[in-house]
Amino acid sequence: MFMDPQEILSLCKRRGFLWPSFDIYGGMAGMYDFGPLGVALKNNIENHWRRLYVLQEGFMELSCPLVSPEPVFKASGHLDTFSDMYVECTKCGETYRADHLAKDLHENPATLDEVQLGKLLRENGVKCLSCKGDLTEPKRFNLMFKTMVGAGKAKPGYLRPETAQGMFVNFQQVYRLGREKLPVGAVQVGTSFRNEISPRQGLIRLREFHQMEAELFVHPDDKTWPRFGAVKHEKLLLVANSGETKEITLEQAVNDKVIVNEVLAYFMWLTYRFVLDVGLDPKKMRFRQHEKTEMAHYASDCWDLEAELGYGWVELVGVADRGCYDLSAHIKHSDADLTAFEKFDEPKEVEQEGVKVKFDVMGKMFKGDTKIVAEALSKMPLESLKGRESVPVQAGGRTHDVPAECFEVAMRKEKVTGRKFVPHVIEPAYGVDRIAYAALEHAYSKSEKEDYITLRLKGLVAPFKAGVFPLMAKDGLDGIASEIHASLSSAGMHTYYDDAGSIGRRYARMDEVGTPCCITVDYQTKDDGTVTVRDRDSSEQRRIKKENVVLAVTRLVSGAGLKALEGL
C-alpha cells in the first residue's frame, strides 16, 4: 500500500511527536523540533542501539565536540569533496539538487558528474518545478556549515557532517583503552549537520540530524569474525552492484564474494537485526551495494540498508569498508602516530628504513630534554621526517624544533619484534531520524471504515509502555489507578494516566500513539483486586491481579502477547 508521508507527519504534529522548527517565524527547511513522544521514540531507538553496540559488541562510546577545526576536514577530504550539485532557476531563484531532478531520467543519477548531469537535464527539457523557468548548469556546493572560532585572530571551524571523524582522531586513546589489541571499536551517538541543498522530505533530508556511528578498527588481513558462525545461516536480501538481486545466506554471500568478508557481513546482519528489533517491516527492507562511481570519497565498498517508504526506497544505514583511508589521511596531515603494533611470534632480522638519532649533536642542543625529544622523534612516522630542514616534535608538553642534522633516516639491518601498521575501518553509520520515521510509517495502520488509526510500534520503542485509566475519576478508582501508575513509573516505564472522556476514546488516543497496552481500574477492582489489561493489536482484554501489573506490562512490551498473562 502506498503511504502518504504527509499523513504520518500530520499525525506526528497533532500528537506531539514532531513538527517543523521555528514555525512562528515561517519555519526553516530541513529542521524539525521533537516533542515529548518524538524525544522518547528517538531515545528508545538510541538506547537499544547502545545495548547492541556497547553492551553486546563491546564498542566504547565517545562524545566529541560538534565543532571541529579546519585541519580535521582538510585531512578527511570533506573540505575538498563533500559536496552535492545544485541548479538554480534563472527566473525565480529556486534551488534544486541536480541529481534529484534527474531521478526519473536515469537509473542512478548520483553516479553522474556535473557535465553528464547538465546534459541530461538540458536534453530532457527539465525546468523549474515552481515557475517553469530555465535552470543553470549544475554547480558543486560543499555541504558543511562553516563558522569562526574565537574573537580577533579567529580560526575557521565546521559543524561536523558526521560523528566519525571524532573517533578517527581519537584512535590512539581508543587503542590504548582497548589494551592495544585489535579489533577494537568506538561508537558515537549525536548531532551531525549538513547544509542540504533543498531539504523537502520531512525527516529524510535534514540539515541537523542524529547519527549513531560505529568505527571498528581491524587488522587489514583479518577477514574473519568470531561471531560470524552464529549468524552465517541468516539470510539478507542483497542488491549487488553487479546487477544481481538475491536473498542469500551470509555464508553464501561471503563464499561467493558478494560481500567482501565476514566482518562486513556480520555488521550488515547486526544492522538488519537492529531495524527488525525497532519494528521495521522485513518485507520492506533490502541492502543495496553502492556503484563504484557513487561511493563516498573514503569508501572502498558500501552497502546501504534501504527501507521502502512513501518516499520510495530510502537509505537508513550505510555499512562501509573505509579501508585505511581515514587513519592514513590523519597521519599524513597531523604527523600523529595512528598505527597499531603487531608482535611477531619470533623476532626477525630485517633490513628496513629507520630513524637514527645523532645523540652527540642532539645532546648539545637539547641538553636535559635530549632523552624525551629523542624518544618522541623515534616514534614519529618516517614519512614526516624525510626531506625537512627541521621537524616539530611534541615532548614534555612543548613543541621542540629539531633540525635535520640531529637524525638520519636510512636503511639498516635490525632485529625487530613486530611491525606498525595502519588499521582498516568497518563503519556501520545509522541515521536516527530516518529510522524513527521508518518505524512510524511501517507501524501506521488505518481502518478503512472508521478512519481509526493504530500505530503498531514495537513495545521496545513505543513512547508510552501503557495507558492507565480509572473507569471513573471517583469512588477511590482514581486512587488505585494512581498507585498503579506510580508502580509502573518506579519500574522505569513511561506510562500515561488518563481519567477524562469515555474509555473508548482513551483507548483510541493510546492506539494512535502506539502504546502497547492499557490498564483499566473498575468497580470489580474494589471487590476482587483485579484490573483489565487491553492489548493494542488484538483489542482483546484479560483480567489480572493488580499487584501483577508491572510484570504483565513488561511481558506485553516485550511482544509476548496476551497468552503470557495466564496465571497473573
Give the binding site for ligand GAP (CB under 6 A).
162, 164, 194, 196, 205-206, 209, 211, 213, 315-318, 427, 429, 431, 433-434
Taking CA 101 as the corner, what is the angle to CA 96 and CA 103, rounded to the nearest 5 degrees? 140
Say which residue the cell 570533506 belongs to.
Answer: 78
| Minimum CB distance to ligand GAP, residue 439 (Å) | 13
Torsion of CA 330, 332, 334, 335, to 10 degrees: 130
3-state secondary structure of 312: strand
Residue type for position 394: Q
| Minimum CB distance to ligand GAP, residue 198 (Å) | 11
| Minimum CB distance to ligand GAP, residue 317 (Å) | 5
Residue 462 burial by Cβ neighbours in a 10 Å radius (0-12, 13-18, 19+) = buried
3-state secondary structure of 176: helix
| Minimum CB distance to ligand GAP, residue 309 (Å) | 12
The smaller minimum CB distance to ligand GAP, of residues 271 and 495, is found at 271
**Which grid coordinates belong to 201?**
522530505
**Which grid coordinates belong to 415?**
632485529
The smaller minimum CB distance to ligand GAP, of residues 194 and 465, is found at 194
- 229 DSSP assignment: G
Closest CA to 320 of 285, 284, 294, 282: 294
Rounded distance between C-alpha atoms, residue 514 and residue 511, angstroms:
5
3-state secondary structure of 477: helix
Give bridge partners of residue 185 from the DSSP assignment.
216
The smaller minimum CB distance to ligand GAP, of residues 428 and 459, is found at 428
The smaller minimum CB distance to ligand GAP, of residues 294 and 335, is found at 294
Q: Where are the alpha helices (DSSP H) in 394-546?
A: 432-443, 477-490, 503-512, 523-528
| Minimum CB distance to ligand GAP, residue 204 (Å) | 6
Residue nearest to ligand GAP (CB): 431
The smaller minimum CB distance to ligand GAP, of residues 187 and 533, is found at 187
| Minimum CB distance to ligand GAP, residue 5 (Å) | 14
Residue 356: which H helix or E strand, with range?
strand 340-357
| Minimum CB distance to ligand GAP, residue 263 (Å) | 17
The smaller minimum CB distance to ligand GAP, of residues 80 and 353, is found at 80
The smaller minimum CB distance to ligand GAP, of residues 15 and 97, is found at 97
The smaller minimum CB distance to ligand GAP, of residues 322 and 534, is found at 322
| Minimum CB distance to ligand GAP, residue 478 (Å) | 43
